[in-house]
Amino acid sequence: MATIRIPASVRSAALRLVTARGDGGSGGTLDVSAIRHFPARARLPLLRNGVDPVPELAAARSRGDVVRLTRVLGLDVWLVTGHDLARSVLADGDSFSNDVRHLLGNRPRSAAERVGGLGMTDAPDHTRLRRVLTPEFTRHRLARLEDSLDRIVADCLDDMDARGPVVDLVERFAFAVPFRVICDLLGLPEVDRTEFRALGSARFDLRQGGQGTFGAAATSREFLISLVARHRQGTADLDPDGLLARIVDGHPELSDVEIGGLADGVFLGGYETSASMLALGTLVLLRDPETYAALAQGGRADGVVEELLRYVCPVQAAFPRFARRDVALGDVRIAEGDLVLVSLTGASRDPRTGAAGDEFDPTSPTSTHLAFGHGLHRCVGAELARMELRAALTGLATRFPHLGLAVEMGSLSFTPLSAVYGLESLPVRLDSRSQVARSA
Ligand code: HEM
């Protein structure tokens, strides 16, 4: 497998660029918690106007399916927004690498910090580890979660009901449902969930800064690794049919760190993404009362969920890809080592796919969206996410058919510059008719 040749001077300059730590004596270890700088032009794929991408993204697509965003340390950074070209980059593991370590010279300090997610790993490690996960995500295996999914949704709706009439849907529903779904999927014992939940919230609470977030990431990984070790010693109470126990028991060749890392990748990949989809998806439905009413009256959710995925596309850009060699993308020449960012949001709104572009239209064909990526690294949990979205949005609309925003649309605050786009909070009134009645 070809490795990417990056000159040592560029590597160390990259480290200086992205870290503010400056401990040159530590041998080039990247301290992710200290990331401060993000070149302004490279922000384009992460910028949005409410639910929509900024117009500059469509303007970039009109200039070409791939455009040069910026140049950093002698390497060009390219942005792909055209749908077909995006698919071909995502499917081409021979020309592009997902492994960033060559650039960052990453020499981690602890076992828990050493685990890289599947998304930043190349074959053959990626193939070997992904093969361990995929059997756990077939429709057949996921069917075991269907009943518990309905129960989780019903519990969260009860909780909202008890706290109403105004609740923050992000906290009480959008994060609450996926957290319990992931815990059930992993088969975590009830007693350990409270601790795990606290770690999960710290991880996504960017108000604590990078240090808090990455500290919590290492701690939640350590927590999962120790759970694996305890299961081997017979002192953890894991669900024997859950993903963690099945992988530990079925794969004696894997270390605790590898299994803990895989489980952590599932948590990381599946929690915030699903939560963002539920929050932003609800917001889109509140702006489209006809579609919401159809769900409340028992209409099929499949088409609505697919169109929401395309339109919201919460994972804004795929994992960064690095050119393994000089490659031609359309009529643009990408040099070896260059960084290619694929805008999943931009590609999913490419009007040439026949989908509704910048309109939300659940009746239009949407099967080609790239909200789950494509190719080798396509989302492992896509079927689970779909199940979850269908159950949660149908449950919400059925239980609260008169749900309404409790604040002005313009006062909502979205997560700025985040790889997974979302809402900070979504105050909703469970029965907006009561408000209308009071103010009449
Ligand atoms: C609406 C919810 C979700 C969205 C929008 C989403 C989106 C994505 C995207 C765009 C990628 C990477 C594509 C790339 O760079 O090529 C990805 C990868 C991944 N996702 Fe999801 N995801 C969601 C839910 C989930 C769930 C529920 C799980 C597991 C429980 C999960 C686990 C993963 C994993 C493990 C990867 C890495 C796959 C690899 O690199 O081989 N995701 N997801």
pLDDT at 223 over 70: yes
Q: Whose CA is nearest to atom 39 of ligand 1?
A: 377
User: Mean of the per-residue pLDDT values for the chain?
Assistant: 84
Ligand 1 atom closest to residue 389's alpha carbon, by position in its atom list? 1
Which of 305, 315, 310 minimizes the C-alpha distance to 393? 305
Distance 430 CA to ligand 1 centre (A): 31
Q: What angle do CA 178, 361, 157 make, to 5 degrees?
A: 30
pLDDT at 394 over 80: yes
Can you tell me the distance from the alpha carbon of 413 to that of 426, in angstroms, rounded to the nearest whole number?
Answer: 9
pLDDT at 20 over 50: no
| CB 177 less than 6 A from any atom of ligand 1 | no
Can you tell me the distance from the alpha carbon of 215 to that of 200, in angstroms, rounded to the nearest whole number?
Answer: 11
Q: Which of 273, 304, 310 to mutate to test the pocket of ligand 1 (most atoms within 8 A of CB)?
A: 273
Task: Determine the distance from the C-alpha atom of residue 413 to the mean position of all C-alpha atoms in its chain, rounded to a whole number.
Answer: 19
| CB 265 less than 6 A from any atom of ligand 1 | yes
Can you tell me the distance from the alpha carbon of 400 to that of 387, in angstroms, rounded to the nearest whole number?
Answer: 20
Distance 407 CA to ligand 1 centre (A): 32
CATH of 41-91+109-439 among 1.10.3720.10, 1.10.630.10, 3.20.20.70, 3.60.15.10: 1.10.630.10
Residue count of the chain, please give it.
440
* Strand boundaries in 162-269, DSSP class E: 166-168
Burial (CB count within 10 angstroms: exposed 0-12, middle 13-18, buried 19+), residue 397? buried
Confidence class for position 42, pLDDT limits 50, 70, 90:
confident
Burial (CB count within 10 angstroms: exposed 0-12, middle 13-18, buried 19+), residue 237? middle
User: Residue 29's pLDDT is what?
Assistant: 36
Q: What amino acid is encoded at 147 in this protein? A: D
pLDDT at 433 over 80: no
User: Residue 26's pLDDT is what?
Assistant: 34
pLDDT mean over 376-390: 97
User: Residue 109's pLDDT is what?
Assistant: 46
Which of 347, 355, 354 minimizes the C-alpha distance to 373? 347
User: Residue 160's pLDDT is what?
Assistant: 98
User: Residue 169's pLDDT is what?
Assistant: 98
Distance 389 CA to ligand 1 centre (A): 14
Distance 321 CA to ligand 1 centre (A): 16
pLDDT mean over 355-372: 87
Q: Whose CA is nearest to atom 33 of ligand 1?
A: 269
* Strand boundaries in 27-74, DSSP class E: 48-49, 52-53, 66-72
φ/ψ (deg, to 5) at 122: -105, 165
Confidence class for position 14, pLDDT limits 50, 70, 90:
very low
pLDDT mean over 120-136: 92
Confidence class for position 195, pLDDT limits 50, 70, 90:
confident
User: Residue 38's pLDDT is what?
Assistant: 59
User: Residue 11's pLDDT is what?
Assistant: 47
Distance 327 CA to ligand 1 centre (A): 26
pLDDT mean over 316-322: 94
User: Residue 116's pLDDT is what?
Assistant: 57
Can you tell me the distance from the alpha carbon of 317 to that of 90, in angstroms, rounded to the nearest whole number?
Answer: 11
DSSP 3-state of 329: strand
DSSP 3-state of 64: coil
Q: Whose CA is nearest to atom 3 of ligand 1?
A: 273
User: Residue 246's pLDDT is what?
Assistant: 95
Confidence class for position 199, pLDDT limits 50, 70, 90:
low
* Crossing angle between the packed helical segments 289-296 and 302-312, to the nearest 10 degrees: 140
Can you tell me the distance from the alpha carbon of 293 to that of 47, in angstroms, rounded to the nearest whole number?
Answer: 31
pLDDT at 310 over 50: yes
- More confident: 10 or 408: 408
Please give the C-alpha separations between residue 34 and each of 19, 210, 300, in angstroms, as whole numbers. Answer: 5, 6, 46
pLDDT mean over 305-309: 97
Can you tell me the distance from the alpha carbon of 398 to that of 130, in angstroms, rounded to the nearest whole number?
Answer: 37
pLDDT at 214 over 60: no
| CB 90 less than 6 A from any atom of ligand 1 | yes
- More confident: 154 or 417: 154
Query: Which of 70-74, 79-83, 131-135 is the least confident region?
Result: 70-74
User: Residue 100's pLDDT is what?
Assistant: 74
DSSP element (H, E) containing 240: none
User: Residue 104's pLDDT is what?
Assistant: 56
Q: What percent of the chain has pLDDT over 90?
A: 62
pLDDT at 258 over 60: yes
Q: Whose CA is nearest to atom 35 of ligand 1?
A: 266
